[in-house]
Structure 1
Amino acid sequence: MSSITASQKEASNFIEFVNNSPSPFHAVEEARLRLSAAGYKELKERESWDSVLELNGKYYFTRNKSTIVAFAIGGKYKKGNGVSIVGAHTDSPCLKLKPISKKEKVGYLQVGVETYGGGLWNTWFDRDLSVAGRVMVATDDGKLINKLVRIRQPILRIPTLAIHLDREIDAGFKFNKETHLSPLIATITKDLLLTKAEKSEKNENTADPSISKHQPVLMKTLAKELDVNAEQIRDFELCLYDTHPSTIGGVYNEFIFSARLDNLVMSYTALAALIQSTTDPNSLSNEHNIRMIALFDNEEVGSTTAQGANSSLLETTIRRLVFSNIGGNIQETTSCAIFEETVHKSFLISADMAHAVHPNYSERYEANHQPEMHKGVVIKVNANQRYATTAATSILLREVAKKRNIPLQEFVVRADTPCGSTIGPMISAKLGIRTIDVGNPQLSMHSIREIAGTDDVEHAIHLFKTYFEEFHEIDQRVIVD
């Protein structure tokens, strides 16, 4: 067997990232840890940045613990210069626990879940599932704090109905999302047997009301994982996830088999590119722009949340940077349009996964636009502006790719097929910022297990890193106004 290639190494690094990120909260924490290790300093949105920001400085902040923004300020940055941004999202379609999830039926304990986003929910049946997310915990000193939790044991499962009881299933697997997607967590018989003594000693009337809304065995499991008492758990946001780890597969080790490729591949590659582009101590010394990544939550449900891309988050962040006293240099300006000047010198790569051509359904793809794995990042175009790509924005990215011979592909949907959308059009419309939509090709999008190519992780990192390093110079010579 030959030694590991550069692309396989980057793919393996991604595997580690996605295996550590079973929820958006975990993905943001994983990004935060990597940024911190790379010398990025944490900021708080509720605090002033004026005395903190420096030329050549590297910073990040989080919102809701599920969105993270990181940026590096060029050594030659001045007010009115642009911001080079890669935007992606941290969330994926999943099942989430309901506010009251306790259910019992015909001898089983179950948990109530609701669907988040547009998942291929049939793929969630007969999988080894567990829960991950954040929990609000009451401390002994009266505070309520946020804690990440992940139960690694497969404690949940959604069983299919035996074919003997549904002879029509081969004609189409149909199910009701309210009644047929409730996972099993235990049998009532076993639960009574193992908790009888504990329940007899416990005064249920003194317990916090939140405990009675969920299966006691679930609350006990969460409390044990967090090393707290169940009564200290006041609320939570929990996603179900497949406990089977992501892996590299295929006879040539060319595939990534994983959950949440959409969109943690693009979140990871944006993160890795920013870090790699700022690793050298002198990497920012000749940079005129601010390099930025923005990894938003809630894209799968429309982005219209405080931590979503359709919020004011990106706008207020750029405003704060424009009007901050970076490096103690006030850089006074009499222009009231300095923010608008900055926006129109800025550029956004909206990075969200793309559709690779499917060998068993190739007729579903436009004949001249069939992206393949290992052949590069895909530029996504839609005449009805479901993607924000224009000729003026695609030419800029093509010039970036040409700098280092990075492959690119193109994708449009068939004229008789609806087109999905991304964070690109909403941010572009809200800010008036030049935007292009791109993504790595994948199969099985929105399944509980998706497929991507190992080489394309490296392709995306290389493209985004080159973009951060070369965009300002390219933007000076590509005249599209």
Structure 2
Amino acid sequence: MLDGEESNVVPDEASDFIKFVNDSPSPFHAVESARLRLVNAGYEEIKERDNWSGKLKKNGKYYFTRNRSTIIAFAIGGRYVPGNGISIIGAHTDSPCLKLKPVSKKASAGYLQVGVETYGGGIWHTWFDRDLSVAGRVMVETKVEPNERQFEHKLIKINRPILRIPTLAIHLDPSVSDGFKFNKETHLTPLIATATKILTNGSDNNDKSESSTLNHHPAFLDLLVKELGVKAVNHIHDFELCLYDTQPSTIGGVFNEFIFSPRLDNLMMSFTALTALIESTNNTETLCDDTNVRLVVLFDNEEIGSKTAHGADSKLLETTIRRLVLSNIDSSTSEKDRISEATFEETIHKSFLISADMAHAVHPNYCEKYEENHRPQMHKGVVVKVNANQRYATTAATSLILREAAKKYNVPLQEFCVRADSPCGSTIGPMISANLGLRTVDVGNPQLSMHSIRETAGTDDVGHAIKLFKGFFEEFPKIDSYVVID
């Protein structure tokens, strides 16, 4: 073996993550990617609308989705009884992006354009001059017979560049060298075609009368029809589509040490949490001996505040825990109501949440932006995030529990807090902790260029997070028995 050859080997976990993120250009795709992995691991789908009583069994593995953009998966320990704790890891499926407006049809100076709006706090200048396409979900009418109408959610990902947001030539705006400034409404509008080619190809048929045609370019709708394999434009009734960069996620660096990718925030933590759950429950021996439920929740809408029906600031996690507590009690309705509330409160105080969201790696060109003793580096471990103003939910007690798991599984940890003169971001951790009174620690893998269209992280850190989370699932009940802090 040549010197350095071993260090050039890409960890399997990083390669698997590359596939996951490339398959997940939208939250809907991320949930579908997660769902398929769960099914392959033997997880059974349940529905929120169904009665779970009597359906959930010890050692059983289950999942459900909400809005197809949020997913919860859990496995019930063989020694679990109502009132025991739940070992939880929470992350989110969404990332800052551009989304098509309900009426996207625009044209200017001989170009057909697509109207978009910004979602979340993206670094929007990074979206200029990129090869863009669209992905998301489309509501399709699949049955049109009288009295037999049926609508379905269908995923779509157009796998080639169809959109571009061009910058203005420096000759026409020399000031761009001193700072790139633009208007998000007027300058962040992608091109999709030229009027000349539309006329040549006869795609822009203005005689079409469907309302969707009036709202969107017929040529764009024709492309959706072709990609979905539906019979006609009027079978497409609505959609939620986001733009994405068609350049795939990839491994880079001299020693294959970097992941260059979109949506690292927060698909990396979604992937590592999900993988850890699956790997921990593949070991039937540890699951059979577990007194807890092991649960992963991947929420949507974190980037816009989480206050939606499928976001972390909803009742989703609370109602799921209540139903888990109640589903294993076989008694009269009145007794269930009484016991479920008592056991729910007992469960909450025996449970623990790891809020997993990406962290800031120190930037070599902007070291002064980081507190001098808190400069996380790639490959040196999962970052524990702390903030005195509780923008992160970590406390001394909750970080101790995490450190015990990390120590047993030999996972390196780092610490991060922002400078006193710097603003601090937040996560789903504080809101869930506050809403439920749930012990919580905030962690994440270190990355650069957070919220850019292309971000950077370390290949080794994928495995670090999986190992830590798997250890948490397997060891938390034991650790909690000797870390007694009420």
Q: Which residue of 1 aligns with 2:392?
A: 387
Check conservation: 1:256, 1:453, Cα contact below 8 A: yes
Structure-to-structure mapping, 1:52-67, within 5 angstroms: 52-67=55-70
Check conservation: 1:7, 1:458, Cα contact below 8 A: no
Q: Which residue of 2 aligns with 1:305?
A: 308
The answer as to 2:217 corresponding to 1:212 is: no
Question: SS state of the match for residue 308, structure 1?
Answer: coil
TM (normalized to structure 2)? 0.95
Q: Which residue of 2 aligns with 1:145?
A: 152
Question: SS state of the match for residue 177, structure 2?
Answer: helix
Cα distance in 2 for partners of 1:471, 1:5 equals 34
**Greater CA drift, 138-147 or 464-473:** 138-147
Can you give the 5+ residue segments of structure 2 that lack an aligned partner in the other structure? none
Structure-to-structure mapping, 1:11-410, within 5 angstroms: 11-141=14-144, 142-195=149-202, 199=205, 203-205=207-209, 208-228=210-230, 229-325=232-328, 335=339, 336-410=341-415
Cα distance in 1 for partners of 2:56, 2:8 equals 39
Check conservation: 1:7, 1:457, Cα contact below 8 A: no
Q: 1:4 to 1:415 in 2, by over 3 A?
A: closer
Check conservation: 2:310, 2:316, Cα contact below 8 A: yes
Q: Which residue of 2 aligns with 1:469?
A: 474
Question: SS state of the match for residue 211, structure 1?
Answer: helix
Cα distance in 1 for partners of 2:85, 2:452 equals 38
Q: For 1:281-331, what per-residue CA distance to the aligned partner results, in whole angstroms no more than 9, with x for missing partners?
A: 3331100000000000000000000000000000000000001137x7999
Cα distance in 2 for partners of 1:452, 1:165 equals 36
Cα distance in 2 for partners of 1:121, 1:359 equals 22
TM (normalized to structure 1)? 0.96
Cα distance in 2 for partners of 1:195, 1:38 equals 49
Check conservation: 2:137, 2:156, Cα contact below 8 A: yes
Q: How far 1:479 sits from its partner (Å)?
A: 1.5
Cα distance in 2 for partners of 1:227, 1:147 equals 11
Check conservation: 1:352, 1:439, Cα contact below 8 A: yes
Cα distance in 2 for partners of 1:51, 1:189 equals 64
Q: How far 1:112 sits from its partner (Å)?
A: 0.1
Q: 1:100 to 1:18 in 2, by over 3 A?
A: same
Check conservation: 1:60, 1:68, Cα contact below 8 A: yes
Q: For 1:228-248, what per-residue CA distance to the aligned partner results, in whole angstroms no more than 9, with x for missing partners?
A: 121111100000000000000
**Greater CA drift, 316-325 or 329-338:** 329-338
Check conservation: 1:393, 1:436, Cα contact below 8 A: yes
Cα distance in 2 for partners of 1:364, 1:256 equals 23
Cα distance in 2 for partners of 1:413, 1:330 equals 52
* Equivalent AA in structure 1 for residue 420 of structure 2: A
Cα distance in 1 for partners of 2:69, 2:270 equals 12
Q: How far 1:3 sits from its partner (Å)?
A: 5.8
Check conservation: 2:10, 2:256, Cα contact below 8 A: no
Q: How far 1:52 sits from its partner (Å)?
A: 1.5
Q: For 1:242-271, what per-residue CA distance to the aligned partner results, in whole angstroms no more than 9, with x for missing partners?
A: 000000000000000000000000000000
Cα distance in 1 for partners of 2:357, 2:267 equals 9
Q: For 1:379-408, what per-residue CA distance to the aligned partner results, in whole angstroms no more than 9, with x for missing partners?
A: 000000000000010001011111121100
Check conservation: 1:357, 1:371, Cα contact below 8 A: yes
Q: How far 1:8 sits from its partner (Å)?
A: 1.5
Q: For 1:64-120, what per-residue CA distance to the aligned partner results, in whole angstroms no more than 9, with x for missing partners?
A: 000000000000000100000000000000000000000000000000000000000
Question: SS state of the match for residue 311, structure 1?
Answer: coil
Cα distance in 1 for partners of 2:118, 2:187 equals 12
Check conservation: 1:23, 1:91, Cα contact below 8 A: yes
* Equivalent AA in structure 1 for residue 191 of structure 2: L
Structural RMSD (CA):
1.6
Q: Which residue of 2 aligns with 1:453?
A: 458
Cα distance in 2 for partners of 1:140, 1:118 equals 39
Check conservation: 2:100, 2:242, Cα contact below 8 A: yes
Check conservation: 1:349, 1:435, Cα contact below 8 A: yes
Question: SS state of the match for residue 379, structure 1?
Answer: strand
* Equivalent AA in structure 1 for residue 152 of structure 2: I
**Greater CA drift, 62-71 or 139-148:** 139-148
Check conservation: 2:55, 2:327, Cα contact below 8 A: no
Cα distance in 2 for partners of 1:270, 1:386 equals 22
Q: How far 1:49 sits from its partner (Å)?
A: 1.1
* Equivalent AA in structure 1 for residue 280 of structure 2: S
Q: Which residue of 2 aligns with 1:424?
A: 429
Q: 1:4 to 1:219 in 2, by over 3 A?
A: farther
The alignment of Structure 1 onto Structure 2 pairs a total of residues equal to 475
* Equivalent AA in structure 1 for residue 168 of structure 2: L
* Equivalent AA in structure 2 for residue 137 of structure 1: V
Cα distance in 2 for partners of 1:467, 1:420 equals 25
